[in-house]
Structure formats: C-alpha cells, structure tokens
C-alpha cells in the first residue's frame, strides 16, 4: 500500500489518538507507530512563561516540512507520516507539534521521527516569542553563533 | 521582487513585506542585505549582525552568496525556533 503523508499547520489543537487512527485506519500492514509531541513548558531556564506565540512563513513552512517528509520517506521504509505544527498563541501544557511515523517495524519509525524533529527544529521557518511577567521576547535559537550561518543549505 | 521579513527582523524594519527594485550591481543575498542596510536606520538595526540573518529564495533556504537574479520572493529572518 502507498504511504500516507499528512502535513498541517494550524492554530487549533490536535488529538493524538485521532491522528494515529487516521494514519493506521483500515490498514493491516503497519506494525509500528512512533508519536512525538512537543509541549509548551511553563518555564525556560528558571523564568516563568505565560504563553508562547508562534509565527511562521506561510508557503515555505509547508514546503520545507514537505521536503523533510520526502527525505524521510526515501531513507526509511515508512508506510506513512504525519506532521502537525501549531501557530498562534499557545499556553503552557498545550501541544505545539506532532510527528507520527508508521512502518512495519519499530526501528524505521523511531529513526524517522527523530530525524524529522531534528530537521524541523533547525530548518522549518517558525519562530517562538515568549510572554512572561517581564514582557515579551523572541526565543533565541539554541547553539547558534556566527558559524551557524555556514549551515544554510539549499535542501 | 517581493521581500518578506519575519520575527524580529520584521519588527525592527517595521513591515512584513515590500516590493523592491535593487540595481543590477546587487547580485547576491549578501549584496541585497548591504543594499537594504543603506535604506535607513530600521534596516541597519535589523541587519546589524548580517551573519545571524537567514535567507530564503522562493521558499528554499539559501546561502549568503546565492544569486538573486530571477527570484520572485526573497525572505529574511532570524535563526528558526520552531518544533
């Protein structure tokens, strides 16, 4: 059976159980589904966070996630994958991102899910802004320095 | 060509997009950053650390030496913090 790819960027929350059912429903060839969800924390390096606001680049965000999905499909024997990324205002405890990978066996599903999250964090055009008691501030990219510019890739 | 700005680059410049017509001597993304920087204090502030700024041409990441000729849409933004 063909691979089922779903990519969505939305303000609304998602239901992980419903998304897994949509990926595996009616199929008997899938033996493993790995689910990763990223959740908004209520603190960052000791500071309290009231909420995050996520901005994205419409058009490019979908294209970039699509390119990573294609790469994952070509590297591992996947039967399907789902990537959902929320935008807008997100409170602590709420979902931010969901990655589901489905395969016959667990190894491909685990590896592809980790690959997708690593590449999403580094390359998908989303930006987080934190609201705290001290005001609002854009979140700094981790491990970024001037040398990071060298990582620009036309992937 | 259309230029788009995101996150703190957008805030510093004070607009999310605009249409520009740089001279032919502006060939690369790096050249364009230099040309935009000359347009005023808000641009100079947004691009004060040009090596931190990321760029995309027509929805694909590019390096600073990428040629901008033929581009429909160029975007400038800080390092990404999604996921």
Question: For B2-25, how does the pLDDT look when each residue is reduced to its tens digit (9 = 90+)?
Answer: 999 999 999 999 999 999 999 999
> Which of A59, A141, A153 comes nearest B81 by C-beta?
A141
**CATH code of the domain containing B41:** 3.10.20.30
B40-65: burial string, b at 16+ Cβ within 10 Å, e else: eeebeebbeebebbbbbbebebbbbe
> Using the beta-carbon criterion (under 8 Å), do A141 and B78 form an inter-chain contact?
yes
**What is the value of pTM for the model shown?**
0.91
Does residue B36 sit within a domain?
yes
* Structural domain harbouring B35: 2-77
Domain A4-140 has CATH 3.60.15.10: no
> Which of B8, B61, B78 comes nearest A155 by C-beta?
B61
pLDDT tens figures, A78-120: 999 999 999 999 999 999 999 999 999 999 999 999 999 989 9
Report the alpha-carbon distance of residue A13 to residue A29 in Å, rounded: 29
User: Could you tell me if A15 and A86 are in contact, meaning their C-beta atoms sit under 8 angstroms apart?
Assistant: no
Does residue B32 sit within a domain?
yes
Give ipTM to 2 decimals. 0.95
> Using the beta-carbon criterion (under 8 Å), do B82 and A63 form an inter-chain contact?
no
User: Could you tell me if A63 and B60 are in contact, meaning their C-beta atoms sit under 8 angstroms apart?
Assistant: yes
Q: Compare all CA atoms of chain A with the CA of B5 and give the residue at the minimum distance.
A: A57
The sign one gets for the Cα dihedral A110, B79, A62, A42 is positive
Q: Is B63 on the interface with A (CB under 8 A)?
A: yes
Sketch the domain layout of chain A as residue ranges.
4-140
Q: What is the token pair recorded at A62?
A: 């979908």
Does residue B83 sit within a domain?
no
Q: Compare all CA atoms of chain B with the CA of A67 and give the residue at the minimum distance.
A: B60
Report the alpha-carbon distance of residue B4 to residue B46 in Å, rounded: 13
Test the A interface: residue of B53, B57, B68, B80 with most A CBs within 10 Å: B80
**How many structural domains are present in chain B?**
1
What is the rounded average pLDDT of the residues A52-78? 96
User: Please, what is the average pLDDT of chain B?
Assistant: 97
CB pairs under 8 A between A and B: 96
Q: A143: pLDDT confidence band, cut at 50, 70 and 90?
A: low
């Amino acid at each position: 059976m063909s691979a089922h790819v779903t990519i969505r960027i939305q303000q609304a929350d998602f239901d992980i159980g419903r998304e897994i059912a949509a990926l595996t429903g009616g199929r008997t060839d899938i033996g493993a589904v790995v689910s990763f969800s990223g959740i908004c924390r209520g603190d960052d390096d000791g500071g309290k966070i009231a909420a995050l606001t996520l901005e994205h680049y419409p058009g490019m965000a979908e294209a970039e996630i699509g390119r990573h999905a294609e790469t994952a499909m070509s590297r591992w024997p996947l039967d399907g994958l789902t990537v959902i990324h929320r935008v807008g205002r997100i409170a602590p405890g709420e979902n931010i991102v969901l990655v589901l990978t489905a395969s016959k066996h667990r190894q491909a599903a685990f590896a592809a899910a980790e690959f997708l999250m690593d590449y999403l964090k580094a390359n998908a055009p989303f930006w987080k802004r934190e609201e705290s008691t001290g005001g609002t501030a854009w979140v700094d990219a981790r491990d970024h320095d001037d040398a990071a510019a060298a990582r620009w890739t036309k992937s | 060509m259309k230029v788009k700005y995101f996150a703190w680059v957008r805030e510093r410049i004070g607009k999310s997009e605009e249409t520009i017509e740089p001279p032919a001597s502006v060939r690369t993304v790096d050249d364009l950053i230099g040309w935009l920087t000359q347009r005023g204090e808000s641009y100079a502030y947004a691009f004060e650390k040009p090596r931190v700024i990321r760029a995309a041409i027509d929805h694909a990441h590019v390096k600073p030496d990428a040629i901008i000729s033929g581009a429909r849409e160029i975007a400038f933004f800080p390092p990404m913090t999604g996921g």
